[in-house]
Structure 1
Amino acid sequence: MSILVRPAERRDLPALVRLRVTNAERHIQLAPDIYRIPDTEAVHRHFEEVLADGSKVLISVAEVEGEVVGMAEVVLLAEPADHQILVSRRGAEIHTVVLDGHRGRGVGAALVAAAERAAAVRGVSIIYAGIFAPNKDAVGFYSASGFGPRGILLSKEQEVPGAG
């Protein structure tokens, strides 16, 4: 099986939307209180804008036999402001999706490697893979790609006046 990883193009919009919605469906099964299926038109607009701009989000796609079967979305983060105590370094978040039937065959690893190279060219020295639900597959995948724990992210849900 030959995997081609390349920057996403406008012609990939339908595949990108399909990947995002498919990923949402999988995540809803893990934690329906955290995840939702986004509006497909909103997803389409997001990818259209990102592909037109390219300054804050880098998207790579993986093709197998001419079909887009996965993507990696790298969201570039702002460097810590001068007044903050964190060491100034460019960071990014990564989100990787591979369609069922192609998982476990090197597609995700190829996407992460390409995303890391593209991010490094942009000066990114640290990449975060946030996993917000019990997801052993995602933890195993990113761990195998060299990601590890970094700090602790704490959260607290609160009531918002007028919401709901």
Structure 2
Amino acid sequence: MELSDFDSREGTTLMVTIRPYSQEDCEVLRSLVLCLHETLRPLDTDLAPGDQIIDRYFQELMTKVESTAGAVFVAEDDSGLVGYVCLWGCISPEDLDERPDPFSFMAELFVRPECRNLGVGRSLVERAERYAAECGTYKIELKVLARNEAAVRFYEALGYVPRVMVMSKYF
């Protein structure tokens, strides 16, 4: 799918292709996953340094995509991959008091900083939402760090609403 994303505030256009991830993208996708992790570390002191976890984390991320009939979609422009979204297709609720129907989970979304505010993230989310609907799930959930205010605003603008808040107290 070819998209032309226009940001009226910037007055620029970014041509991207949103397509399914392929094995040839593996190393670049891994580097984008690491970039996301390192971007989030200043917002959450519980996150370990990326170089300590990336191999195991990336493998688990991709295993979960496969085991849930999920998908990874990448955004590509003339320079290469500029973003991705990772969707777990059919997840069963863990809490016994929740509705028992499977749902989809948007595990990760990342757009390179220089490509943000140009509609790339929105296009990736829309593609993930279409895939979730194709899976037959009734909702899509995601987690966002409470201190990541820009991401919270982004998801709220797309119609996502808070459902559960996890709170921590450190000693």
- Decide: shared fold, TM above 0.5: yes
Q: 1:40 aligns with which of 47, 54, 60?
A: 54
2:82 matches 1:64: no
SS at match of 2:26: helix
CA-CA distance at 1:157 after TM superposition: 7.0
Superposed CA RMSD in Å reads 2.6
Q: 2:158 aligns with which of 139, 145, 148?
A: 145
Name the stretch that deviates more: 19-28 or 37-46: 37-46
Runs of 4+ with deviation above 2 angstroms: 38-51, 53-57, 76-81, 83-90, 152-158
Greater strand fraction, Structure 1 or Structure 2: 2
SS at match of 1:28: helix
SS at match of 1:72: strand
- Stretches of structure 2 lacking an aligned partner (at least 5 in a row): 1-13
CA-CA distance at 1:26 after TM superposition: 0.8
- Stretches of structure 1 lacking an aligned partner (at least 5 in a row): 159-164
TM-score (norm 2): 0.77
Q: How far apart, in 1, do the equivalents of 2:134 and 2:29 lie?
A: 23
SS at match of 1:2: strand
* 1:2-13 equivalence runs, <5 A: 2-13=15-26
Matched-pair identity in %: 24
Paired positions, count: 155
- What amino acid sits opposite 2:101 in the alignment? R
2:100 matches 1:88: yes
* 1:1-164 equivalence runs, <5 A: 1-31=14-44, 33-36=45-48, 37=50, 38-46=52-60, 49=63, 53=66, 55-65=68-78, 67-80=80-93, 84-94=96-106, 95-150=108-163, 152-155=164-167
